[in-house]
Structures are given as structure tokens and as C-alpha cells.
Amino acid sequence: MSRSKISKIHPNSAGIDIGSEKIFIGIEDKEVKSFATFTGDYLKAIDYLKENNIDTVAMEATGVYWISLYDLLEESGIEVYLVDGRQTKNVPGRKSDVADCQWIQQLHSYGLLHRCFIPDNITRQLRTYTRLREDHLSLSSQHILHMQKALDLMNIKLHNVISEIHGVSGMRILKSIISGNHNPEELMMLCENSILKKKRDLVLASLQGNFREEYVFMLNQAVEAYEFYLHKMFECDKKIEALLKQINKDKPTPKDMKKPKQIRHNAPKIDNLHEELVKLTNGKDPSQVIGLTDKSVLLQIGETGIDLTRWKTEKHFTSWLCLSPTKHESGKSNKKRKKKGNTKAGQIFREAALSVANSTHSALGGFYRRIKAKKGHRIAIKATARKIAVLYYNVMTKGIEFVEQGLILYHQKFKEQQIKRLHKQANHFGLQLTPLSGH
């Protein structure tokens, strides 16, 4: 009996195993060669690959170590397959770094490895700025907690009375306390009139405290650190603005743009952000999808780019986002398997779903509450996030305009489905449904 051999898809291939101090390169019929991780050694490694006529390499996505080498390989014209480590699990007994790179090369030569999603260069630039901005935002929020702790030590309860201690009124009062003004009446008058009309007595009572020197110093440190990170966020915004203008410099201004939604918290300080995003997406406006704003669209484009056709269908897209429901059935068994992991892109849609959950006039809000009643908050958020992701995918790939159905239309459709199901069950048991008078 003759056995058919598997043909090699990438005959001139190499496998690279990356570490913090060394990389190991495996080429077929050659001994494994190692190089240090300095830039000069990376360039020597690229020369070594070219000397052996290598036109494609595969390597695991290990932390951030792969990024520098990936960029250099890409610039040299060598095709790079960045793969998930789960694809390259080694055979038993071959666990050393040397064996790993040979195993990666062997799998890659037969086309058994699938690339991770790596966006284009422009998207990677935008991703760097948006992620850095989010890091600064996260750090600034920690210092808001430090402000509140300092106020608690002084027994100042202002943050229990006004909604945002880092808002205009709150920051005025904090800076006045730091400068040495500890008079509750004078501090109270620094609030906006809208606050004083409703909470004047509460604000005054909350500003009577114990202004010890060390607590005021602690408050000063927190305020300075908070404003430092706000300034860093602003610098990121300017970089993002410059990049958007560079990309869109030859694109015409879209006609019939809809009014942008209000961004309630931490809005990017970018001139004409909505217009720049609509230009970037070639006239499409995914910010009209419920739950999304220009800020969330900007973050999402930084993660996935504007060309979503890399994912063949919406199911491929939502699966990559880790938003797809998991299948528990395997043959006759019913084993529950939980898919691990999350993505930054998927988290953006989850946060959008959280805002939708409180909506009382949207179809998706009604969908969330129906799923929550059956399966709980966590699954309802994931399911709602998936629906938002599908709408986003359709807008970006097909130009489908999103039209909010409204809660009444959603409930009407759901009611019709329920009545149809009840009629079907009644017929099955030989019964007949009779509507009550007045219904």
C-alpha cells in the first residue's frame, strides 16, 4: 500500500524561538544557530537567513520580545508568521529551546501554522498612542483614589456630596485647601451654582475637617500626580490628532455627517475628532451604533484597523474578540469547556454593552435585560457586546447604517415570537388558545 506524502508549502522556511537574552533559529538540514537579542545581533541573524535563501519565518508571540525582531524582519522583506504558542506545543521529550525552533520550522514548512492578526503600520502607530493614553488614564484614576484617601484622613466628606471630586468644583476646592484656605464658607463658594442650589448645606458640612499638615501634603501630591497624567494624556491626544490629519490630508470632507454623540468621560482633546474618524473610515460612521462613541471607535480602530475583511464573517470577528458563545457538546457527552482569554478589542465592546445595559429606550437594552433574567449579568454583557460587535462589523465592511429599533418594537417582535410558540405547543396537545377580552 502506497502512502501519499504531505508536500511542503514553505520549502525555504525557518523557525525562530525568542527569549529575553537569545534567539534560536532552526533551518532544515542545518544545526540550530543562536544570536543575542541586541539590535546588531538581530541584523546578523537576518543576514544569516538571507544567506540560506530563507523567504519566510515563523515565531511565537512571546511577550513583547518579538516586536523588535518582527519589525526588522518585515523591513528586510522576509515574510513573518507570528503564531500563537498554543499552535506550536512541542512533542513530549523535546522541550529545550533548540528543539522548539526546529519544531516551529517543521510545522511552518508544511503550512500547519496560522498567523496572528498583526495590523498595518499606521494602525500600529495609532494603537501605541491609544493604549498609552489608556494607561495614563488608568494611572490618573489611581490618584483620584489617593485624593479621596487624603480627604478621608481630614474627615472632609466632599467626595460623598459631589459626584466627581476631580471635576471643576472639586479641583477648585482641593487647590484652595492646598494653598492654605481652610474656611468652610469660603471653600463652599468655589462650587458651581448648580451644586450650591441643591446641596449648599451638605457641601458646607462636608468641608469642616482636620487640616493636618501631613494630610494636606498628601493631598497636594495626589493632585499634582493626577494633573501630570492628564497632561500626558493631552500629549497623546496631540499625537493622535497629528496622525489622523496625516492619514486624511487628501480625503474630502464627508457629506451629511450626523451629529456626534456626547462623550461623557475623558473625551480626547482632538479637534474635529468625529470628522476625522468619518474620513478615516471612508464615510462610514460606526459611532452611530448604540453604545459606541467617537472615543470607543478611535480605540477600536487602534486595535483592529479599518479593514475588517481580514475576518471572513462576523462570526470569525466575534470569535477573535472572545465574544462568541462556547459549545459544550462533544459527541454524546456534555462537557462544559470555558474559553479562556480576552482581548483589548473585545473589552471595548464589553464596556459599550455596560452603557447599553442602563438604556431604557433601546432594543439592545431590552435584549440585555431578557438575557440577564435567564443567565445572569456576566453572560448578558457578553451577549450584548457580541451584538454590538456584529453591528460594528457590518457598518465597517458593508456600510450598513444602523437604525435603532426602539424598545417598543423589540418587545412587540418578542411578544409575537412568544405567541407563535404558544400556539405551536397548544396545537401539539390538541388545544386552542383563546385571547382574553381587552387583550
| Residues 92-101: tens digit of each pLDDT | 545 555 678 8
Tell me the C-alpha distance between 21 and 37, whole Å: 5
Specify the 3-state DSSP secondary structure of 59. strand
Give me the pLDDT at residue 1, please. Answer: 44
Residue 228 has pLDDT above 90, yes or no: yes
CATH 1.10.287 domain locations along the chain: 123-244
Tell me the C-alpha distance between 255 and 96, whole Å: 60
Tell me the C-alpha distance between 61 and 95, whole Å: 17
Give me the pLDDT at residue 219, please. Answer: 96
Tell me which DSSP letter residue 276 carries: H
Give me the pLDDT at residue 352, please. Answer: 94
Tell me which DSSP letter residue 87 carries: G
Give me the pLDDT at residue 87, please. Answer: 72
- What's the mean per-residue pLDDT of the chain? 88
Q: Which residues are within 8 A (CB) of 173 and not within 5 positions of it... i.e. 6 or more apart?
A: 158, 187, 190, 191, 207
pLDDT class of 315 with cuts at 50, 70, 90? very high
pLDDT class of 416 with cuts at 50, 70, 90? confident
pLDDT class of 438 with cuts at 50, 70, 90? low
Q: Which CATH class is domain 13-109?
A: alpha beta
Tell me the C-alpha distance between 48 and 23, whole Å: 13
Taking residues 396-404, report their average pLDDT.
76
Give me the pLDDT at residue 331, please. Answer: 46
Residue 127 has pLDDT above 70, yes or no: yes
Residue-wise burial string across 74-93, b where 16 or more C-beta atoms lie within 10 A, e elsewhere:
eeeebebbbbeeebbeeeee
Tell me the C-alpha distance between 173 and 153, whole Å: 16
Query: Could you read off the pLDDT of 270-280 as tens digits, one per residue?
Result: 999 999 999 99
Lowest-confidence pick of 171-175, 203-207, 227-231, 432-436: 432-436
Specify the 3-state DSSP secondary structure of 121. helix
Give me the pLDDT at residue 406, please. Answer: 59
Give me the pLDDT at residue 412, please. Answer: 79
pLDDT class of 415 with cuts at 50, 70, 90? confident
CATH 3.30.420.10 domain locations along the chain: 13-109
Q: Where are the beta strands (DSSP E) in 19-174?
A: 22-27, 33-36, 56-60, 79-83
Tell me the C-alpha distance between 135 and 141, whole Å: 10
**Do 36 and 21 form a contact (C-beta atoms < 8 A)?**
yes
Taking residues 17-45, report their average pLDDT.
93
**Do 20 and 37 form a contact (C-beta atoms < 8 A)?**
yes
Give me the pLDDT at residue 93, please. Answer: 47
Taking residues 372-385, report their average pLDDT.
93
Give me the pLDDT at residue 402, please. Answer: 64
Provide the terminal-to-terminal Cα distance of the chain, rounded to the nearest Å. 74
Query: Could you read off the pLDDT of 135-194 as tens digits, one per residue?
Result: 999 999 999 999 999 999 999 999 999 988 999 999 999 999 999 999 999 999 999 999
Query: Could you read off the pLDDT of 103-116 as tens digits, one per residue?
Result: 899 889 988 888 88
Q: Which residues are within 8 A (CB) of 298 and not within 5 positions of it... i.e. 6 or more apart?
A: 130, 240, 268, 273, 277
- At the topology level, CATH places domain 123-244 in Helix Hairpins (1.10.287)
Query: Could you read off the pLDDT of 231-263 as tens digits, one per residue?
Result: 999 999 999 999 999 999 988 888 888 888 889
- Chain centroid to Cα 417, Å, comes to 35
Query: Could you read off the pLDDT of 345-371 as tens digits, one per residue?
Result: 999 999 999 999 888 777 888 889 989
pLDDT class of 63 with cuts at 50, 70, 90? confident
Q: What is the β-pairing status of strands 13-18 and 56-60?
A: parallel
**Do 20 and 65 form a contact (C-beta atoms < 8 A)?**
yes
Q: At what angle do helices 363-375 and 407-428 cross, to 10 degrees?
A: 50
Percent of the chain with pLDDT over 90: 63
